[in-house]
Amino acid sequence: MPEPAPAKPRRRGAFSGLTVPTVVLAGLLVAACVAWFVPNVREFIGAPESGPESIPAEAGAVTQDALEAADSPAAVPGFSESPAWEAEVPQTASVTATDRGVLVVDGNTLRVLDPATGGLRYEGPIDGALSFAVDTTIDGEHALLWRYGNTAQALFDGETTPVDYELPPDVRISSAGTSVLVKQGNSLKTFARGGLADIPTPEPGATPMAIDGDHLISAQWAGPVTVTQIHSNESRRVDLEQPAENLEIIRWVTAGYGKVVTLWGEPGASANSGHRVQLVVHSLTDGRITSQLSTSTDAVGDANWVRGQGYRLAVIGPYLYSMETGALVRNGDEDGLQFSEPRGNVAPAVRGDTAVLVVGDTAYTSGTNVLAVTGEGSPLADPAGTGSAPEAVPSAGAPGSEEVGSFAIVRRSADRVTAFAAEQ
């Protein structure tokens, strides 16, 4: 079936500048940052031929405030020096944390602690290594979902017993959106209270990328994006604003949380051609550009868009982005920063040989192993612009919806997990 020609896109001034503004899985979950967990859909759609001219480096240039350096006044900047709670853990235990739980895996036992109190939310057996843990929505309800082997379990807010799911051995799972997409062969599913639920597949030639709420996001190679209601199968077309008349999509990086991230280059460019390209973030609401950055394929050609714990910041190559606005927060190359996965509004990084925590325009010297910054809630009440997504995620840990404040969860030592409350 020939690919339909997209509608003529809206244009704005060429190379206009940016506007201002996981889950934390540590070493245990490194493998979850590739393939379907942080999707790189280029491999499913194909790649054009190479050989373009280079986009000028000054195109789409962005200025940023100077980065200040300071010693951290506490284990985590902005949080109390005194612990709100502490929990002993075996030195050999693997620990990861999300807004909804601190997961402690010791041998064949999994414990989930409440991030606000350190109290036990759940304890049970686990058969195999934990491969991922993610805060998500299932049937419109907020839940902590984790997987080991061919089993997944979802612990819903206000409950102490998880719902069990048996997964086929050949499935791939994408947590790129606010809900989880499950792909088995050519069929698509998502998690529901009663088990895995089938969802409509996109039209031939389109690639499924994510689920936001109850809407599937898919796209043809050259566009447009299609947002499909998974229950009614009603869909709407989103034409992406073109960053410049002579540019075309050369890689779909990811989609979800109300945004689409793509690389654009001149005809014939590819993700590994070594030429300058445009890294563009579009809104799924209307297809307009929320940010645009001139960079090189060496910096981002094969880099993943790594969503941070709490879904407030994301990292791709040397660049730190706001997931709420889609705007560039900081260019790590200009500041000599190498970012790792963000925790809430905190971005751990290395500057030279020094570990720092970047908060706003300050890099605080700190070697603290931050697992999560909780209680900030999701800033995206309706990420796909559909009017049907769940309300913003309530404060963390939460067995219920009571306000509990924000906490920084750290692995203070091999045998101790500590939480610090936000300063008032």
The model's pLDDT over 295-340, given as tens digits with 9 standing for 90+, comes to 999 999 999 999 999 999 999 999 999 999 999 999 999 999 999 9
What are the residue ranges of helices labelled H in 178-265? none
Do 130 and 28 meet the contact criterion of CB atoms below 8 Å apart? Answer: yes
Model-level pTM? 0.82
pLDDT in tens, 154-163: 999 999 999 9
Return the DSSP state at 187. Answer: E
How distant, in Å, are the alpha carbons of 58, 112, 115, 313, 335 from that of 67? 21, 37, 31, 17, 7
Q: Where are the domains of the chain?
A: 27-380+404-421
First to last CA, the chain: 59
- Rounded to whole angstroms, the Cα distance separating 142 from 154 reads 9
Residue 245, Cβ neighbours under 10 Å: how many?
8
Question: Which pLDDT score is estimated for 63?
Answer: 67
CA angle 150, 153, 154 (to 5 degrees): 145
What is the pLDDT at residue 403? 54
pLDDT along the chain (424 residues), means of 10: 38 35 35 37 30 39 80 94 96 96 97 97 94 95 96 97 95 95 94 96 94 96 95 96 95 97 93 92 97 94 95 97 96 96 97 96 96 71 43 40 78 96 90
The CATH number assigned to the domain with range 27-380+404-421 reads 2.130.10
Where do the H-state alpha helices sit in 127-178?
none
H or E segment to which residue 418 belongs: strand 416-421
Count CA atoms within 13 Å of residue 311 on its CB side: 25
**Order of strands, sheet of 347-351, starting from the edge strand that comes earlier in the sequence:** 68-71, 362-365, 354-359, 347-351, 337-339
What pLDDT is attached to residue 15?
32
